Structure 1
Amino acid sequence: MVDRTFRTRCLWGFVLLVVSPQILRAADENDFYRIVSIAVAEASDSRSPHWQPAPDGLVMEVSGLAALDDSRVAVAIRKGEIWILDGVYDDPPANVTYSRFASALHEPLGLLWHNDSFYVTQRSELTQIRDRDGDQVADEYLTIAKGWGVTGHYHEYAYGPKLDHDGNLWITLNIGLGLKGDQLRRTVENKTLGYRQGLWRGWGMKVTPQGEMIPVCAGMRSPSGLGANADGEMFYTDQQGNWVGTNTLHHMRSGAFFHHAESLASIDHPASPLNDVASVPNGLPFPDALKVFPQLVPPVVWFPYKKMGQSATDIMLDESDGKFGPFAGQLFVGEFTQASIHRVFIERVNGEFQGACFPFRSGFASAVLRMAQGHDGSMFVGLTNRGWSSLGAASYGLQRLEWTGKMPLEIKEMRAKHDGFELTFTKPIDGKTGSDPASYLMSSYTYLYQSSYGSEEIQRKAMPIRKATVSEDGLRVHLTVDGCREKFVHELNAIGVRSKSDEPLLHSHAYYTLNAIPTSE
């Protein structure tokens, strides 16, 4: 979810949003990835050809999503229910049926089908929900984990769970913002740093198959998306705000601290893997803050603000083995305010993750909060703007995104090299445009690490591209770049590149977070 301080900025954002590259590309995107509306509640225009009604009275603010089989998905809604929808793969989905499976949940913000049970994170606990008598209605609710702080603050969301390859369930806990009055008297207080929050607020937690809840990492602000990569390692997204310059993707691992300082209120707890934090810098460029704050770790990917969304949400791994297009093994990240989805390629350099983000698909009916891959490789997209503004004509709903089979010309991968970057394309490119340095523009910049809200791009610098070398098969370009900077975002616009049939890139922009420059090839 996005925080309430962000609401006013959203209301004024529409004029600025229309200039973003992904929105301008919406018509072309539809040629390659088509949106099918399953159940969308419209806010204003009942004449939309994509509208499909949900049952009367069902406010489908999708807050959790799980694909069950080749005809059904399960949907958690924010007001506390789980519904099972059948017929969702039909095109058009004219005969979808709805069955309520569970109710009386407290703001579920995730849904997982695992071991013949649903798992859902409610505001104050992780719950296993089962149908014991086979009547398709839940009759057993088991508390699997609890024990994090809840002061009553509206912003204390709890997200998940997601599953890693070891069978652990992961959850993330939103920070409380601007605690006041009684809320302050029911918080953990770090006596060294002076921060106050409910216990484990702003932390990532894992729950073992034996039911032990373990605090893993801290520094989260609004960690509404989490998920695993192909190797089962866990990542989460965060949203711009105080201590967070812009939206980010992070690798969750033991003892890591990301950025939001108030989560350090819990480091004195005996179970905390973090310790020895004496002070927190405020107002430094992020690369400089890393030098004086050894517990602070950089994001895997920065999402430049407005260029790559305004409020990052869910994470979905493409496990379709090509059924969803050419991006198998990559991550997709939902975007709330701009009602879109981005794509992320990550790699390991010097033992740590870093990578690039790319625009992917815009034009959803409302804010994208949850995503799940269907059995045919398509993507189910759960929507709700929860009262905050987003692009789109609806306030909530469920849509499905399917690959048309037509191959887009895209930058598939962007890898760091010791002297620049290597781009891999989805189709062979024209050697003349691909080898012309003038076909590319690059700059680099970073953000302030500060307690104030967000950050502008700072320390911007143009990056001359000295040489572009195209491989014989036309699928790769090696860019020799002067002056690459570690811990900086490197923004690329390959605006001049064409395919061998003179086709432009569907999305010409890429944003690589260069945490480390490889020492050699």
Structure 2
Amino acid sequence: MVKTCNYHLHSFAKVCRSVRVNWHAMAFQPAFALLAISPMTSAIADDESDYYRIITIAASESPTGSRSSNWKPAPDDLALEVSGLEVIDDNRVAVAIRKGEIWFLDNVYADPPTDVKYHRFATALHEPLGLLKHNGAFYTTQRSELTRITDTDDDGAADEYLTVAKGWGVTGHYHEYAYGPKLDKDGNLWVTLNIGMGLKGEHRKRTVSNPVLGYHQGRWRGWGMKVTPAGKLIPVCAGMRSPSGIGANADGDMFYSDQQGNWVATNSLHHMREGAFFHHPESLASMDQPGSPIHGVTKVPNGLPYPDAVKQFDQLRPPAVWFPYKKAGQSATDIMLDESGGKFGPFAGQLFVGEFTQASIHRVFLEKVDGEYQGACFPFRSRLASAVLRMDQGTDGSMFVGLTNRGWSSLGSASYGLQRLRWTGKTPFEVKEIHALPDGFELTFTQPVDRSSAEDVASYQLNSHTYLYHSTYGSDEIQKRSLSVESATVADDLKSVRLRVDGLRELFVHEIIADRVKNAQGQSLLHPHAWYTLNKIPK
């Protein structure tokens, strides 16, 4: 019997505690019907392709056995379940796949990609969940180590596999995934580690424990780690549940994405820095290990509204961005910075975050207020062929997207594959940025607005909510409140509007719906919904 896991995504390739599962015979089609999709996603999907085209490089047959128009098989029935993705140059990409191999794909920029060449570079890896080309070698995080892989004799196949770093605990529990690496501005490599779920029996014997809090986990599980250029493994921050996405912003600061579950109200984006604790307290089993930057936690509040928990729990740091559940995805994954300088459209310098269950991608704008990150998330592109797990930017500015729904169901016509998002050159009418103000928000747009609609306060709907910080799985939106827009003032260049809003609340998510705002041509916003995480109100 297969356990369906309620379709809440926590990480890559979770085997749902069944011993024998025929994944290709598994009845995924009914799951598609049950998956919850926000009305915003379905309503705008047909228009998104006017601005960002999806080009299929490879994709499996659909889970039901029918072949969609996007079906492009890899050779010899290669299951291209992409778990790592790295652009090599203006012709090739490298992909790690679930079965423990690295493949090079040539001719991937062709449109359509009719002559893609496949070459296996490396094999015999243990669950690689990331891929990076760095200093003339490829790096991947296997379940128990960070590995450097090279082809020393230039014959096209890897022949040297060196351990760069190890030292985190592995009990054998299925949920102990390890992700990365990603590179920061100082040349450090970052790795994030899942916690184990409900460790028992033999797994429990291999854990470290915190006698005060009573938590048991493998060493450094639920932590963000960095590896220095000298190869030293350093624990940096804790409180992660299923941190499958890692990435740097334009300033080189490191972020990770987490997924809803126990202690984690909904999907979230966090700034990783020394000594920060995020939400999952079982990571504190390693708090007293040598090198830990977190100390002195003796009590974890349970069952409080999140703003109250932050006030009572000194080490708890709020996420930079909350992704309201189902409205803005159900299972956040990879993080990609748009470094194209405009080749990928009007969002240069912003982050894109993958989404597993809904087979889509969200966009994130960040700003600093009082030295801390906060910002807004927006829908960006839906209807990828399968679950989005990995993303990387091509040399032409396009986005390569690695897909696999292994272990869970996702929307889409395929179980796995590789696609590319290409900007058509046509600029969508969107809210580009949202800045917090002492008395409201400033919205900037990708195109000039129609002054009459943008200055009409009836064009906007605002509300706010927070979540419960508790050991229960996820959280409903609580303490919800509608907000009044007192005035809307359009700038002289017609590219921004200042909203004066009554009732802003710190540490609350503020939903902003601008569904009646038009551009100069009378066109509505492609995505009128946005969610701003207001950790601090500017002075």
Please report the TM-score for the alignment, with normalisation by the length of structure 1: 0.98
* Superimposed CA distance per residue, residues 272-322 of structure 1 (whole angstroms, 9 cap, x where no aligned partner): 000010100000000000011000000000000000000000000000000
* Superimposed CA distance per residue, residues 147-174 of structure 1 (whole angstroms, 9 cap, x where no aligned partner): 1000000000000000001000000000
Picking from 107, 111, 114, the partner of 2:127 is 107
Equivalent-residue separation in structure 2 for 1:203 and 1:480 (angstroms): 40
Residue 304 in structure 1 maps to residue 324 in structure 2: yes
| CA gap 1:232/1:141 in 2 versus in 1, 3 angstroms | same
Give the Å deviation of 1:19.
4.0
Residue 493 in structure 1 maps to residue 520 in structure 2: no
Equivalent-residue separation in structure 2 for 1:206 and 1:71 (angstroms): 31
Alignment coverage as a number of residue pairs: 517
Equivalent-residue separation in structure 1 for 2:70 and 2:427 (angstroms): 24
Task: Please give the secondary structure, in 2, of the residue aligned with 1:75.
Answer: strand
Aligned ranges 1:348-367 → 2 under 5 Å: 348-367=368-387
* Superimposed CA distance per residue, residues 368-396 of structure 1 (whole angstroms, 9 cap, x where no aligned partner): 00000000000000000013000001110
Residue 470 in structure 1 maps to residue 516 in structure 2: no
Give the Å deviation of 1:6.
4.2
Task: Please give the secondary structure, in 1, of the residue aligned with 2:76.
Answer: coil
Picking from 27, 30, 51, the partner of 2:46 is 27
Picking from 323, 331, 344, the partner of 2:343 is 323
1:369 maps to which residue? Answer: 389
| CA gap 1:13/1:350 in 2 versus in 1, 3 angstroms | farther
Picking from 358, 383, 386, the partner of 2:406 is 386
1:94 maps to which residue? Answer: 114
1:281 maps to which residue? Answer: 301
1:411 maps to which residue? Answer: 431
Task: Please give the secondary structure, in 2, of the residue aligned with 1:25.
Answer: helix
Picking from 89, 105, 117, the partner of 1:85 is 105
Equivalent-residue separation in structure 2 for 1:186 and 1:432 (angstroms): 65
1:190 maps to which residue? Answer: 210
Equivalent-residue separation in structure 2 for 1:66 and 1:439 (angstroms): 42
1:141 maps to which residue? Answer: 161
1:202 maps to which residue? Answer: 222
The answer (yes or no) to whether the contact 1:45–1:393 under 8 Å persists in 2 is no
Give the Å deviation of 1:8.
7.3
Aligned ranges 1:1-400 → 2 under 5 Å: 5-7=5-7, 14-15=33-34, 17-43=36-62, 44=64, 46-400=66-420
Equivalent-residue separation in structure 2 for 1:162 and 1:145 (angstroms): 14
* Superimposed CA distance per residue, residues 471-499 of structure 1 (whole angstroms, 9 cap, x where no aligned partner): 11110000000010000000010010001
The answer (yes or no) to whether the contact 2:38–2:327 under 8 Å persists in 1 is no
Equivalent-residue separation in structure 2 for 1:483 and 1:8 (angstroms): 33
Give the Å deviation of 1:254.
0.2
| CA gap 1:4/1:189 in 2 versus in 1, 3 angstroms | farther
Equivalent-residue separation in structure 2 for 1:97 and 1:168 (angstroms): 33
Equivalent-residue separation in structure 2 for 1:6 and 1:16 (angstroms): 9
Equivalent-residue separation in structure 1 for 2:37 and 2:536 (angstroms): 34
Equivalent-residue separation in structure 1 for 2:4 and 2:469 (angstroms): 21
Equivalent-residue separation in structure 2 for 1:203 and 1:19 (angstroms): 32
| CA gap 1:179/1:199 in 2 versus in 1, 3 angstroms | same
Equivalent-residue separation in structure 1 for 2:432 and 2:345 (angstroms): 11
The answer (yes or no) to whether the contact 2:7–2:357 under 8 Å persists in 1 is no
Task: Please give the secondary structure, in 2, of the residue aligned with 1:206.
Answer: strand
2:23 maps to which residue? Answer: none
Equivalent-residue separation in structure 1 for 2:245 and 2:488 (angstroms): 36
Task: Please give the secondary structure, in 2, of the residue aligned with 1:119.
Answer: strand
Task: Please give the secondary structure, in 2, of the residue aligned with 1:56.
Answer: helix
Give the Å deviation of 1:55.
0.8
Give the Å deviation of 1:125.
0.1
Alignment-mate amino acid for residue 118 of structure 2: Y
Equivalent-residue separation in structure 2 for 1:6 and 1:86 (angstroms): 38
Alignment-mate amino acid for residue 313 of structure 2: F
Task: Please give the secondary structure, in 2, of the residue aligned with 1:24.
Answer: helix
Q: CA RMSD in A?
A: 1.3
2:441 maps to which residue? Answer: 421
Equivalent-residue separation in structure 1 for 2:118 and 2:31 (angstroms): 37
The answer (yes or no) to whether the contact 2:8–2:331 under 8 Å persists in 1 is no
The answer (yes or no) to whether the contact 2:190–2:225 under 8 Å persists in 1 is yes
Give the Å deviation of 1:84.
0.2
The answer (yes or no) to whether the contact 1:159–1:173 under 8 Å persists in 2 is yes
Equivalent-residue separation in structure 2 for 1:361 and 1:464 (angstroms): 30
| CA gap 1:259/1:19 in 2 versus in 1, 3 angstroms | closer
Equivalent-residue separation in structure 1 for 2:355 and 2:204 (angstroms): 32
Task: Please give the secondary structure, in 2, of the residue aligned with 1:432.
Answer: helix
Equivalent-residue separation in structure 1 for 2:418 and 2:170 (angstroms): 30
Task: Please give the secondary structure, in 2, of the residue aligned with 1:49.
Answer: coil
Equivalent-residue separation in structure 1 for 2:155 and 2:191 (angstroms): 30
* Superimposed CA distance per residue, residues 238-291 of structure 1 (whole angstroms, 9 cap, x where no aligned partner): 000000000000000000000001000000112100001010000000000001
Give the Å deviation of 1:185.
1.1
Please report the TM-score for the alignment, with normalisation by the length of structure 2: 0.94
Q: Bigger shift: 8-17 or 218-227? A: 8-17
Task: Please give the secondary structure, in 2, of the residue aligned with 1:42.
Answer: coil
Give the Å deviation of 1:12.
5.6
Give the Å deviation of 1:56.
1.6
Equivalent-residue separation in structure 2 for 1:33 and 1:412 (angstroms): 16
Equivalent-residue separation in structure 2 for 1:138 and 1:220 (angstroms): 33
Alignment-mate amino acid for residue 521 of structure 2: S
Give the Å deviation of 1:7.
3.5
Task: Please give the secondary structure, in 2, of the residue aligned with 1:27.
Answer: helix
Structure 1 unaligned residues grouped into runs of 5+? none
The answer (yes or no) to whether the contact 2:227–2:233 under 8 Å persists in 1 is yes
The answer (yes or no) to whether the contact 1:174–1:221 under 8 Å persists in 2 is yes
Give the Å deviation of 1:15.
4.7
Q: Bigger shift: 341-350 or 45-54? A: 45-54
Equivalent-residue separation in structure 2 for 1:91 and 1:46 (angstroms): 24
Aligned ranges 1:441-452 → 2 under 5 Å: 441-452=461-472
| CA gap 1:298/1:334 in 2 versus in 1, 3 angstroms | same
The answer (yes or no) to whether the contact 1:445–1:461 under 8 Å persists in 2 is yes
The answer (yes or no) to whether the contact 1:18–1:24 under 8 Å persists in 2 is no
Equivalent-residue separation in structure 1 for 2:384 and 2:359 (angstroms): 5
* Superimposed CA distance per residue, residues 73-124 of structure 1 (whole angstroms, 9 cap, x where no aligned partner): 0000011000000000001100000000000000000000011100000000
Give the Å deviation of 1:47.
4.1
Give the Å deviation of 1:13.
7.1
